[in-house]
Amino acid sequence: MSLYPLKFTPLYKYRIWGGEKLKTVLHKEYQEDSIGESWEISDVKGDETQVSEGSLAGKTLSALIEEFKEAIVGKKVYELFGTEFPLLIKFIDAKTPLSIQVHPSNEIAKERHNSFGKNEMWYVMEAEKDAELIVGFNQRVDKKSYVEALESGKILDVLNNDTVAPGDTYYIPTGRIHAIGAGVLLAEIQQTSDITYRIYDYERVDATTGKTRELHTEQAVDVIDYSVSDTYKTAYTKPENGTNTLVHSPYFKTNIMNVKGEMEKDYSELDSFVIYICAEGSLELVFNNTTYKISKGETVFLPASIDAVSLKSENADVLEVYY
């Protein structure tokens, strides 16, 4: 059986802060209210996405890896992770702010939860006027002053707020305190992990439980990176019909492509799967004389055995993700 570009059926997640933009902006199809996350490509246990079309429809990532091994993910990824897929791709719609949170490192996550850590990145797709992200601290703090700010209800005073616009990109390494603010729709690329330490949640009550959500104050203190940066935003340029670096980390690599007209992509030297996330516009992907249409908010998985594809668009911004 030959491999082809794969689309997966997303999994939709209720969130206390979720809105309607996954439906109204990205044209996702679901009936529930307050859907905050669309898990596009997931191998999280119990939340595995399935191929939506073609001869491999219904198969999960781990089943595909078991069957096709390095042909689907690449030799290096297969040797490192076996049948586990290392990345989780999401769209997130925050109608109200997310909790202030932090993620543990690989080492701590392995020790405490038998899980990967959660290094991640954000690419802003839509942002309402004055919408913000919280990333890092705005002043020098240590463990003692952080705990004092938290206990006195002044934690927001020491956090860095950035007003954001479409295209803004942030890398969130483990240990960096962060939160998505109200009115932001973004793409998130992260390690396969669902481990989050919630630090502060505005004392909100979850309507589905009638209770406030659990905080992880003690666990978080030891994993926070207390350093301060001048800027947390990723600087980049976006050349027309070119590919440029967004975030290259030890856990994933993400580039930005602006497709105008036709673009040929040669992956013969790349030992990895490739994931396309259409962040703006729409495009056509041509492989083996078959055309695959990709709209804003759609995600496509290219198996590692695919060496070349052609991309066509009037004007599309595409995130290119690989290991």
Catalytic positions: 198
- Between CA 257 and CA 279 the distance in angstroms is 10
Residue type, 23: K
Residue 256: closest CA among 165, 169, 164, 163: 169
Q: Is 113 annotated as a binding residue?
A: no
- Between CA 29 and CA 16 the distance in angstroms is 19
Q: DSSP 3-state assignment of 51?
A: strand
Decide if 311 contacts 271 (C-beta within 8 A): no
- Between CA 82 and CA 80 the distance in angstroms is 6
- Between CA 11 and CA 86 the distance in angstroms is 18
Write out the H or E segment, with its range, that includes residue 220: helix 217-221
Q: Tokens in use for 182?
A: 């109200």
Write out the H or E segment, with its range, that includes residue 217: helix 217-221
* Half-sphere exposure of residue 274: CA atoms within 13 angstroms, side-chain side: 23
Q: Tokens in use for 192?
A: 């396969």
3 state SS for 3-47: CCCECEECEEEEEEEEECHHHHCCCCCCCCCCEEEEEEECEECCE
Q: DSSP 3-state assignment of 285?
A: strand
- The total of other beta-carbon atoms located within 10 Å of residue 271's CB is 15
Q: Is 27 annotated as a binding residue?
A: no
Q: Is 178 annotated as a binding residue?
A: yes
What string of DSSP letters covers 83-97?
TS--EEEEEEEESSP
Binding site feature residues for Zn(2+): 103, 120, 178
